[in-house]
């Protein structure tokens, strides 16, 4: 028969009581903290899940903040565009009225109204939100649009092309601003492809008419020389109507294309694909956009101007002409209509971005909620179950102590 000594009874008692107290202590901590996983060794896989989920939740919160910032800016942009569009309707209305010979008697009055519209559009174009010019790109010090020193033309800042990108989800960034260039600027857009099989050293020449703020025509002679595989050097010469060189590139610009996709990857090593050509004396200011150029098996490169003169100078020219008794030309009217359509397009574009932001906001909120639910399941405490467990352990502890108190000291010695 197994000998049971007094020490073994005592050891059993102590082991049981220690185990119960340890369980009670753990349950108490879990109930008060609400966390079942206090340290990685409680469950390494759960701890890792919680850390990853918490990181994603933090990222989601940060993205939600970005979305809020973005929406605020986008709403301000929408508001500005709506004012501009409303003013454009006024201008169109005035231009239509001017087609009526009866209304052509008081051109100065119309010139005043056009000037008023121009002022409103310029004020709105220079409006600020969250400390930034709505159409100022990344330039925050100078207003994007201003009258030239002689008040004859309106000048646009070259820095109003900067994009403000925000992260709205993992791996997803979205532009929250419309740059002054894309709304008001004169952009010469490159389209089509270079022949990737063309030999190194081959040259592609293109010519395009461009205009100054008064409407005078110039010729832009462009040259693309293939200097290496997927690499082209761009140079240009700007000639006036008498074929005099007005401006030429001080140095070449290097365009690089992706070897696999054929898409443009950089201009002079930067992701920005726009090049500004300006001459303040001659009131020339336009941008060349290479973004849509690519490399393929065929040579289809061409360039297209989005407008001859920007809306500010168009309205300014119309006003000046009216004061001189000259009615708006068909080209000027076309520019106004074209700009109005562009504003509508931009309103639609921004509306889409806002919708996208709203969708992402809903999605992120849902994601965050689900992750928090998972975290609760993985690392949370079932309080009811824990309290019942705690009561059970406490009951067992009392029983153990009671039994131990009555049994432990007993031996034959007690009965002698």
* Maximum Cα interatomic distance, the chain, rounded to a whole number of Å: 137
Strands 264-267 and 253-257: antiparallel
Binding-site member from 32, 151, 170, 297 for another protein (CB under 8 A): 170
Any contact of residue 412 with another protein (CB under 8 A)? yes
Q: Which of residues 366-385 bind another protein (CB under 8 A)?
A: 379
We find the least distance from the C-beta atom of residue 12 to another protein, in angstroms, to be 9
Q: Which of residues 187-206 bind another protein (CB under 8 A)?
A: none
Based on CB atoms, which residue is closest to another protein, 149 or 170? 170
Token output for 332: 């000027």
- List the Cα angle 408/412/416 in 5-degree steps: 125
Burial class (CB in 10 A: 0-12, 13-18, 19+), 149: exposed
Any contact of residue 269 with another protein (CB under 8 A)? no
Task: Name the DSSP class of 329.
Answer: P
Binding-site member from 32, 41, 199, 205 for another protein (CB under 8 A): 41
DSSP string, 13-57: HHHHHHHHHHHHHHHHHHHHH-BS--SGGG-HHHHHHHHHHHHHH
Q: Which of 147, 150, 145 is nearest to 135 (CA)?
A: 145
We find the least distance from the C-beta atom of residue 281 to another protein, in angstroms, to be 25
Any contact of residue 45 with another protein (CB under 8 A)? yes
Print the binding letters for residues 146-165 with another protein: x by CB under 8 A, - otherwise.
-------------x--x-xx
Burial class (CB in 10 A: 0-12, 13-18, 19+), 198: middle
Burial class (CB in 10 A: 0-12, 13-18, 19+), 178: buried
Binding-site member from 136, 144, 180, 190 for another protein (CB under 8 A): 136
Q: Which stretch binds another protein (CB under 8 A): 62-70, 98-106, 288-296, 322-330?
A: 62-70
Rounded Cα distance between 117 and 83, Å, is 10
We find the least distance from the C-beta atom of residue 27 to another protein, in angstroms, to be 18
Rounded Cα distance between 181 and 3, Å, is 97
Token output for 402: 């009671």
Based on CB atoms, which residue is closest to another protein, 136 or 328? 136
Q: Which stretch binds another protein (CB under 8 A): 5-13, 189-197, 239-247, 400-408?
A: 5-13
Any contact of residue 138 with another protein (CB under 8 A)? yes
Any contact of residue 32 with another protein (CB under 8 A)? no
Based on CB atoms, which residue is closest to another protein, 54 or 216? 54
Q: Which residues bind another protein (CB under 8 A)?
A: 2-8, 11, 15, 37, 39-45, 47-48, 50-52, 54-55, 58-59, 61-63, 65-66, 69-70, 130-132, 136-141, 159, 162, 164-167, 170-171, 173, 176, 270, 272, 379, 411-413, 416
């Amino acid at each position: 028969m197994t000998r049971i000594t007094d020490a073994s009874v005592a050891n059993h008692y102590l082991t049981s009581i220690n185990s119960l107290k340890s369980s009670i202590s753990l349950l108490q901590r879990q109930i008060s903290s609400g966390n079942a996983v206090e340290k990685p060794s409680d469950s390494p896989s759960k701890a890792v899940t919680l850390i990853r989920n918490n990181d994603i939740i933090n990222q989601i919160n940060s993205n939600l903040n970005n979305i809020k910032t973005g929406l605020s800016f986008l709403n301000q942009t929408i508001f500005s565009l709506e004012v501009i569009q409303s003013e454009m309707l006024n201008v169109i209305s005035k231009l239509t009225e001017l087609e009526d010979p009866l209304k052509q008697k008081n051109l100065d009055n119309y010139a005043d109204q056009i000037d008023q519209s121009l002022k409103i559009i310029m004020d709105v174009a220079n409006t600020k939100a969250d400390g930034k010019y709505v159409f100022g790109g990344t330039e925050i010090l100078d207003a994007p649009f201003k009258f030239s020193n002689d008040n004859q033309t309106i000048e646009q800042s070259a820095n109003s092309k900067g994009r403000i990108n925000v992260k709205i989800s993992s791996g997803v960034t979205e532009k929250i601003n419309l740059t002054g260039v894309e709304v008001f600027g004169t952009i010469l857009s490159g389209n089509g492809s270079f022949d990737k099989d063309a030999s190194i050293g081959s040259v592609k020449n293109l010519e395009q008419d461009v205009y100054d703020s008064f409407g005078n025509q110039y010729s832009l002679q462009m040259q693309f020389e293939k200097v290496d595989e997927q690499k082209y050097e761009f140079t240009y010469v700007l000639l006036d109507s008498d074929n005099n060189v007005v401006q030429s590139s001080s140095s070449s610009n290097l365009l690089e294309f992706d070897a696999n996709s054929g898409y443009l990857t950089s201009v002079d090593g930067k992701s920005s694909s726009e090049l500004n050509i300006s001459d303040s004396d001659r009131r020339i200011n336009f941008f060349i956009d290479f973004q849509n150029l690519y490399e393929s098996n065929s040579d289809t490169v061409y360039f297209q101007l989005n407008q001859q003169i920007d809306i500010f100078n168009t309205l300014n020219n119309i006003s000046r002409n009216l004061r001189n008794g000259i009615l708006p030309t068909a080209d000027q009217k076309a520019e106004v209509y074209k700009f109005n359509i562009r504003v509508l397009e931009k309103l639609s574009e921004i509306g889409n971005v806002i919708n996208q932001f709203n969708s992402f906001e809903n999605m992120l909120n849902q994601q965050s909620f689900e992750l928090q639910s998972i975290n609760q399941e993985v690392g949370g405490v079932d309080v009811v179950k824990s309290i019942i467990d705690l009561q059970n352990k406490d009951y067992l502890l009392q029983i153990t102590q009671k039994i131990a108190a009555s049994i432990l000291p007993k031996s034959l010695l007690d009965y002698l």
